[in-house]
A and B are shown apart, each in its own frame.
Chain A
Amino acid sequence: MLDNEEFMLDTSPRELTQNPLKKIWMPCKNGHIAQRRVCTTNCPTLIVTVGLPARGKTYISKKLTRYLNWIGVPTKEFNVGQYRRECLKIYKSFEFFRPDNEEGLKIRRQCALAALNDVRQYLSVEGGQVAVFDATNTTRERRGTIVKFAEQNGFKVFFVESVCEDPDVIAQNIVQVKLGSPDYIHCNTEEAIEDFMKRIKCYESSYQPLDEVLDRDLSYIKIIDVGCRYLVNRVLDHVQSRIVYYLMNIHITPRSIYLCRHGESDLNIQGRIGGDSGLSPRGREYAKSLRKFIQDQNINDLKVWTSQMKRTIQTAESLGVPYEQWTSLNEINAGVCEEMMYEEIQENYPLEFALRDQDKYRYRYPKGESYEDLVQRLEPVMMELERQENVLVVCHQAVMRCLLAYFLDKTAEELPYLKCPLHTVLKLTPVAYGCKVESVCLGVDSVNTHRDRPEFVWDRGLHWIRENR
């Protein structure tokens, strides 16, 4: 689940060789690396949402998928509504969803099966670990079908039910995500809302919520009133435990997260990476501008977080508000390359330099860290960011890239090349299913520390053993 490797041994002790990119010791015999075999005890997991329309199922599905992918668990969501839109092409009205609409029922069932087929493909063939089956799944019969499907394919099943009767929450939901749906593209607001409410009614009569007695052998979490209360039943394994913990920490209260780097530092000016230097004069100016910016934003109850490195702390000091230091927010550890310039690294460690450009996400500095390690280290920060409301995080380039990748759902390939310039604040505001980003440059000059993805990657033809991927 975490960044671990599992090996099956065939014979007695093997030599260890270190993968030059990830700096991980792996056993090999006669120069051949042991095939990494996916452990058969870690079966894929099928997460199944349950709930009436406008209960946040898709919101949860997308968020959960984003989180799991970020921590390195290949996850994909399968939204049955999408399949239905593919099939139907044109949505007429709620009548399609009437429980006595035979034609409608047939199509809906087909769509569910098509989606499950793709789930099987993803989990059994494409190497996915978790699939999120996003649909209402409100009847016991439908859920039974899914459980059987999972059993046949050796998947574990975990249900996530969202129950909510608060009319305000439901109304908010509809306004935020339903009005803009392809289904209502030709309707005005009133028509859309009216139709949608009737749609919900269609499901209500046949809704069989997960039951304490009848469903006591299933693994599930029931989320009640947007996280006011949770009912958790039979958590089976590590993945499910992490999912439960995550779901219990997220909320939908409107808020904003501000991400920025420390002010320009002395080492920045010298073009050196890492280290623990103080702010340059321009950096100090930035800190003052940041103070003004924060005051102008007039944020309610803002928390300020920094790393434990001098440059972020000095930046926060200028703000004149209490702040908290997190070691986990420290910049990526560049190991032997700390405080070097890129030119020096290229000169002294040409192989390392080349390797980093090959796979910047997984590349680990000798005696240092990789972006992949950074994400693992940042997970508790992320969890707490989810719990909090308005937060300003003053951190570092690599750290900010990781956090940004989480909020904006960037892949491991994109993450290390995200642009996070000095003296610029990114304001992230969760909206609908994603995140609105506003970039504010505070008008203080600085050096540019960004290195783009290189066009040509050097393969020096040295003999290193390539990992089977």
Chain B
Amino acid sequence: MSSTQIDNGSANSAEAKKADMRMSEKKCSWASNMTNSPTVIVMIGLPARGKTYMSKKLTRYLNWIGVPTKVFNLGVYRREAVRAYKSYDFFRHDNEEAMKIRKQCALVALQDVKAYLLVEGGQIAVFDATNTTRERRDLILAFVKENAFKVFFVESVCDDPEVIAANILEVKVSSPDYPERHRERIMGDFLKRIECYKVTYQPLDPDDYDKDLSFIKVMNVGRRFLVNRVQDYIQSKIVYYLMNIHVHSHSIYLCRHGESDHNVEGRIGGDSELSPRGKQFAHALRDFIEEHELSDLKVWTSQLRRTIQTAEELAVPYEQWKILNEIDAGVCEEMTYEMIENAFPEEFALRDQDKYHYRYPGGESYQDLVQRLEPVIMELERQGNVLVICHQAVMRCLLAYFLDKSAEDLPYMKCPLHTILKLTPVAYGCKVEMFYLNVEAVNTHRDRPLDKIPRDSALIHRRNSYTPLSSHDRVKRPRLYSAGNQPWLPLAPTPSALMPEGRQSQESLCEGSDSDSPEETSGCVRF
């Protein structure tokens, strides 16, 4: 979906064909089920108010719960149109030449939004720009009406100078607009840029002009919210999500229980105890926690014995969550993979076809797991420092949320035993640090099989489910990335230990985008 010329924004026919193919594979998440017309989320706010932060985070969340979402960042389009950024003068409202270019960029971006929502199977498009004037917003409203989309505005208002300064330092200083990295000059130029916008800024007016619009006004980084006319389920979820996220620094530690007796025997599921090596790991974990001097660390476990036993060693209070229990393998519980292959060869094959959507007979799928884990994610967003002691499939789901992994990659992410992942939100993404605690354990990972059956083969019939005749179309929404922007910070690659086999290590871990094969990214804007 590459559109580098300003005057041509339409998708080419090859891309359209690919999108059609995807549309014909039909499977659906529970959240996606609940949304009908596509929605455009429109960000509003002066520069350095956290619009891009919220856009990316929201997009990552929506994709994780199965609602195909994509960000369209106007700055990216502008940088493409105007190769060399000279100074804040470009943003002066009386700079006619610049105003013309900026408007053109907006129109091109909107065309891409249209293509994404109507042709490529997208459900939600996040239009990330300042959108500070009524004139610009009216333009968007007209566009939305013309295409029968729903629209929801997210305005970020902040008058705390410290917050703004911190914002500028964290994400603007390293922006492509400022290659020389001379901090003070950058800060100066950027603040002048903000002043340019302030002159013409018309905030949403809930009492009069904008009283019929659907929006949320986020004030001072979530201290206060004004919510107006929420129309539907997805807007309600978006509001709930935005009200639960915060920007305080904190770290989330994910690890599995220590090696269990079943692990040693190669059995899946069940509720076995820790093996001797597992107990050793628990000890090592205790030392790890003490070393890292984590203030106010919350510890969460599942309700299965092996995680609780691990937590017991830590000698700190912990909370048990049933929803952190390992994926329910139904009739295959406590079997080894060999036993499953012998007893249920068809099921075994089906699982390899589409590991994310495959549901064990009488059990669950990864997709079910994501739905079950949503309250955990919401609570993790609210909390400070948390250590989550869980299980392989569960950890994969949680990790996929933080690292923005698709349904394709999620079930093959590497989450080895006796290894802790420390996730720290940074800029627009997440820094990952891996700590292997030097206690040996069996390897429970199964790689993606090499002779994978191509995706557009016959529909997989789900067990225990009657194929409905007159229900809605159940659309398989491919999880598209929330990419669209080049990484701005030179970042450490994803530890290759984490990546599914055969996939290159990411360059832009923090952005959550991937250097994917072309077929995966045909929906993305690439520059």
Residues of A within 8 A of B (CB): 2-9, 11-14, 16, 18, 23-25, 27, 39, 216, 228-235, 238, 241, 244-245, 248-249, 276, 278, 308-310, 313-314, 317, 320-328, 338, 367, 373, 376, 384, 387
Contacts and interface: CB of A to CB of B under 8 A. Distances in A.
A321 B464 contact: no
A323 B471 CA distance: 5
A12 B243 CA distance: 39
B15 interface: no
B315 interface: yes
A221 to B, nearest CB: 9
Interface in B266-319: 271, 303-305, 308-309, 312-313, 315-319
Q: How large is the interface on B (under 10, 10 to 19, 20 to 34, 35 or more residues)?
A: 35 or more
Given A232-B227, A234-B224, A313 B468 contact: yes
B315 A12 contact: yes
A229 B470 contact: no
A241 B382 contact: yes
B436 interface: no
A13 B315 CA distance: 7
A244 B243 contact: yes
Interface stretch (B70-78, B107-115, B158-166, B228-236): B228-236
B472 interface: yes
B85 interface: no
Contacts of A320: 470
B228 A235 contact: no
A167 B382 CA distance: 39
Interface in B15-43: 30, 33-34
Contacts of B178: none
B478 to A, nearest CB: 21
B470 A326 contact: no
A229 B229 contact: yes
A4 B321 contact: yes
Contact of B464 (A23, A232, A276): A276
B470 A230 contact: no
B312 A16 contact: yes
B240 interface: yes
Contacts of B470: 317, 320-323
B335 to A, nearest CB: 14
B312 A13 contact: yes
Given A14-B312, A320-B470, A327-B371, 16 more contacts: A6-B318, A12-B315, A25-B303, A231-B224, A231-B226, A278-B466, A308-B465, A310-B464, A313-B465, A313-B466, A317-B468, A317-B469, A322-B472, A326-B30, A328-B371, A384-B34
Contact of B240 (A5, A18, A245): A245
22 contacts: A2-B321, A3-B322, A4-B321, A6-B317, A8-B317, A11-B315, A14-B312, A18-B305, A23-B303, A39-B317, A228-B229, A231-B225, A232-B225, A232-B227, A234-B223, A248-B227, A308-B465, A310-B464, A313-B468, A317-B466, A328-B371, A384-B233
A7 B318 contact: yes
A5 B223 contact: no
B516 interface: no
A4 to B, nearest CB: 4
B495 interface: no
